[in-house]
Amino acid sequence: KDQNWRYGFGWFFSEDERGEFRAHSGKSGGFESYIRIYEPNDLMIFILTNHVNGSAKLLREEIIKEINK
């Protein structure tokens, strides 16, 4: 739905203040995950939770906000 994101084989490709990145999120049987990889500057973010309550998204948003300051 967001025109700034492209999707391919489970990965989303986009760009923000830090540069181009690819991202993947998921939910399964009691946990959530999120991966974001900025290849040009070797930054990788991995979030794994044992909850399915949106906490991975909240953590992701806070982390991205901090690194893009």
Specify burial of residue 3 (Cβ count, 10 A radius: 0-12, 13-18, 19+). exposed
CA distances from 8 to 14, 16, 18, 51, 69 (A): 11, 18, 21, 26, 29
Query: In this predicted model, what pLDDT tens digit does every residue of 25-55 receive, in sequence order?
Result: 887 878 899 999 998 888 999 999 998 888 8
Residue at 23: amino acid letter: A
Do 52 and 21 touch, CB atoms closer than 8 A? Answer: no
Higher pLDDT, 68 or 46: 46
Instruction: Give the per-residue pLDDT at 69.
Output: 81
Do 47 and 61 touch, CB atoms closer than 8 A? Answer: no
- What's this model's pTM, rounded to 2 decimal places? 0.77
Instruction: Give the per-residue pLDDT at 62.
Output: 94
